[in-house]
């Protein structure tokens, strides 16, 4: 006899910690590996959407009962996946509600109803976001940080890491002149889809990419930070990640050397921020505000230390107490470096943020070749490039990209980071 609820309860902590499919057994319960695997995949989907532990347990119990043949015939483990459209989600929810009304004594549908109600609300919010952002960009009232271009030594290994390990999808591919390019994201890039408006990584294969030399102002990206509902450590290691830190959150080296920080959290788009070091933090913030039109959303105080001379004999011997305004420690999220400033377009919680970090004094760092450029959507590439051509920035190119036709305005900002303004309408033409 299969006892389902104890199995679910014993396995949930492990499912949340790793993506590996685990068979749990005890004196009360033993379950077939093939059946439990589907349940755990469903739990991954629930956890990704940020459901509470109580709701996960509720749906997990339903899933187990269904596998044992006791639940509603409408339930299927494959049903518990993020919806691809709002209409699909609403129809599914309506069917579940109708079945619950027909049989109010059957509580098996409670978890399903919560799941799809959460999905409907998520898609409604995303639909509102893409519509308002598209309107702001096309009218010239706003811009959008759309994708980052990074070079990788082995594009197949990089794609495995970002898809199988980090949970992204391959959105589109491009090839030509001996180069292969793959765009990966947590959903569609286009603003014409209800699930769209997602930030992308453009992976460009280049054997000359130099690992671990990317930490440099005036040259490269410091790290990328991602917030996901389910951290799959086993899948990350299997996909080529090197784990540097794993207490409360993860610090990983992606294949090729790019530093990635991953925490547990739920955002509209899991890609949370891009961190860059700059030589002069005040000048950099002024440029990003005035020339690029971003707004500051958070400032972390710089590290300041004071010394107070001890009393008595210890004081006479020169001993002193040192006190520093160390940033508050959050055990489940990466600490924000002292003196750094976070900026973005629009609402911070809905878009990718730019984190500017002051370079340490008297520290020389090499330029690397992993970071290539950051793409920003606009309705007028020429005007955007002209407005950004100030404070030591240098415009490099304005016009249509050869072979592609997309209108862009490319420049180096005062810290030598390459920024590219991309025409919104041409961007949409590139979408699959």
Most confident segment among 97-106, 236-245, 299-308: 236-245
Q: Residue 129: pLDDT band by 50, 70, 90 thresholds?
A: very high
Q: Give residue-wise pLDDT tens across range 138-193.
A: 999 999 999 999 999 899 999 999 999 999 999 999 876 677 899 999 999 999 99
pLDDT at 30: 36
- Tokens matching residue 145: 């940080």
- Tokens matching residue 393: 């920035």
pLDDT at 236: 96
Q: Give residue-wise pLDDT tens across range 322-354.
A: 677 676 767 788 988 899 999 999 999 999 999
As a whole number of angstroms, the distance between CA 370 and CA 386 comes to: 27
pLDDT at residue 383 tops 90: yes
pLDDT at 321: 73
pLDDT at residue 122 tops 60: yes
Give, in degrees to the nearest 5, the angle at Cα 254 between 160 and 342.
Answer: 120
pLDDT at 318: 67
**Of the ranges 13-17, 87-91, 135-139, which one carries the lowest mean pLDDT score?**
13-17
Q: Give residue-wise pLDDT tens across range 256-289.
A: 889 999 999 989 999 999 999 998 999 999 999 9
- Better pLDDT: 13 or 264: 264
Distances (CA, A) of 271 to 228, 280, 305: 8, 26, 34
pLDDT at 311: 67
Q: Give residue-wise pLDDT tens across range 205-235.
A: 886 554 444 333 334 689 999 999 888 899 9
Residue that the structure tokens 């002149």 belong to: 177
pLDDT at 257: 86
pLDDT at 312: 67
pLDDT at 9: 29
pLDDT at 315: 62
Query: Please, which residues have CB within 8 angstroms of residue 402's CB and are 6 or more apart in sequence?
Result: none
Cβ-in-10-Å burial (0-12, 13-18, 19+) of 81 comes to middle
pLDDT at 84: 81
pLDDT at 308: 72
Q: For all residues of the chain together, what is the average pLDDT?
A: 79
Q: Residue 67: pLDDT band by 50, 70, 90 thresholds?
A: very low
pLDDT at 128: 97
Per-residue b or e along 317-329, where b marks 16 or more CB atoms closer than 10 Å to that residue's CB: eeeeeeeeeeeee
Q: Residue 366: pLDDT band by 50, 70, 90 thresholds?
A: low
- Better pLDDT: 200 or 216: 200
SS (H, E, C) the chain: CCCHHHHHHHHHHHHHHCCCCCCCECCCCECCHHHHHHHHHHHHHHHHCCCCHHHHHHHHHHHHHHHCCCCCCCCCHHHCCCCCCHHHHHHHHHHHHHHHHHCCCCHHHHHHHHHHHHHHHHHHHHHHHHHHHHHHHHHCCCCEEEEEEEEECCHHHHHHHHHHHCCCEEEEEEEECCEEEEEEECCCCCCCCCCCCCCEEEEEECCCCCCCCCCCCCCCEEEEEEEECCCCHHHHHHCCCEEEECCCCEEEECCCCCEEEEEECCCCCCEEEEEEEECCHHHHHHHHHHCCCCEEEEECCCCCEEEEECCHHHHHCCCEEEEECCCCCCCCCCCCCCCCEEEECCCCCCCCEEEEEECCCCCCCCCCCCEEEEEEEECCHHHHHHHHCCCCCEEEEEEECCCCCCEEEEEECCCCCEEEEEEHHHHHHHCC
pLDDT at 403: 86
Distances (CA, A) of 165 to 29, 226, 409: 31, 12, 34
pLDDT at residue 37 tops 80: no
As a whole number of angstroms, the distance between CA 272 and CA 269 comes to: 7
Establish how many alpha carbons lie within 13 A of residue 246's alpha carbon, considering only the half-sphere containing its beta carbon: 14
- Better pLDDT: 74 or 225: 225
As a whole number of angstroms, the distance between CA 186 and CA 10 comes to: 30
pLDDT at 59: 46
Question: In terms of DSSP bridges, do strands 371-378 and 320-324 run parallel, antiparallel, or are they unpaired?
Answer: unpaired
pLDDT at residue 53 tops 70: no
pLDDT at 21: 34
Using a pLDDT cut of 70, give the percent of the chain over it. Answer: 72
pLDDT at residue 320 tops 80: no
pTM: 0.77
pLDDT at residue 77 tops 70: no
């Amino acid at each position: 006899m299969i006892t389902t609820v104890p199995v679910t309860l014993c396995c949930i902590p492990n499912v949340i910690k790793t993506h590996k499919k685990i068979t749990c057994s005890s004196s009360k319960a033993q379950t077939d590996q093939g059946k439990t695997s589907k349940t755990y995949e469903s739990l991954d989907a629930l956890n990704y959407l940020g459901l509470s532990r109580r709701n996960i347990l509720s749906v997990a119990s339903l899933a187990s009962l269904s596998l044992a043949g006791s639940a509603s015939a409408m339930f299927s483990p494959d049903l518990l996946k993020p919806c691809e459209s709002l209409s699909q989600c609403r129809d599914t929810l309506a069917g579940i509600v109708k079945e619950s009304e027909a049989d109010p004594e059957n509580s098996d549908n409670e978890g399903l109803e919560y799941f799809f109600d959460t999905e409907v609300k998520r898609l409604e919010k995303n639909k509102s976001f893409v519509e308002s952002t598209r309107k702001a960009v096309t009218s010239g009232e706003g811009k959008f940080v759309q994708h980052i271009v990074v070079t990788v030594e082995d594009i197949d290994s990089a794609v495995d890491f970002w898809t199988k390990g980090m949970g992204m999808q391959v959105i589109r591919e491009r090839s030509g002149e001996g180069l292969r390019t793959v765009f990966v994201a947590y959903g569609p890039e286009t603003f014409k889809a209800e699930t769209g408006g997602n930030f992308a990584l453009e992976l460009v294969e280049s054997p000359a990419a130099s690992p671990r030399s990317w930490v440099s102002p005036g040259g490269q990206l410091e790290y990328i930070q991602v917030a996901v509902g389910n951290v799959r450590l086993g899948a990350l290691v299997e996909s080529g990640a090197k784990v540097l830190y794993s207490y409360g959150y993860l610090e990983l080296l992606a294949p090729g050397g790019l530093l990635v920080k991953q925490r547990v959290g739920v955002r509209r788009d899991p890609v949370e921020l891009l961190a860059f070091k700059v030589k002069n933090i005040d000048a950099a913030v002024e440029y990003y505000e005035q020339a690029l039109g971003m707004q500051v959303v958070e400032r972390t105080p710089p590290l300041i230390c004071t010394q107070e001379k001890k009393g008595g004999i210890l004081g006479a011997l020169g001993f002193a107490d040192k006190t520093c305004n160390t940033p508050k420690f959050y055990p489940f999220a990466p600490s924000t470096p002292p003196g750094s400033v976070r900026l973005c377009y629009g609402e911070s919680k809905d878009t990718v943020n730019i984190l500017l970090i002051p370079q340490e004094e008297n520290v020389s760092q090499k330029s690397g070749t992993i970071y290539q450029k950051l793409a920003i959507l606009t309705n007028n590439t020429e005007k955007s490039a002209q407005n950004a051509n100030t404070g030591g920035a240098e415009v490099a190119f304005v016009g249509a990209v050869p072979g592609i036709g997309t209108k862009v305005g490319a420049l180096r900002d005062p810290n030598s980071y390459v920024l590219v303004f991309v025409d919104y309408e041409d961007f949409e033409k590139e979408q699959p």
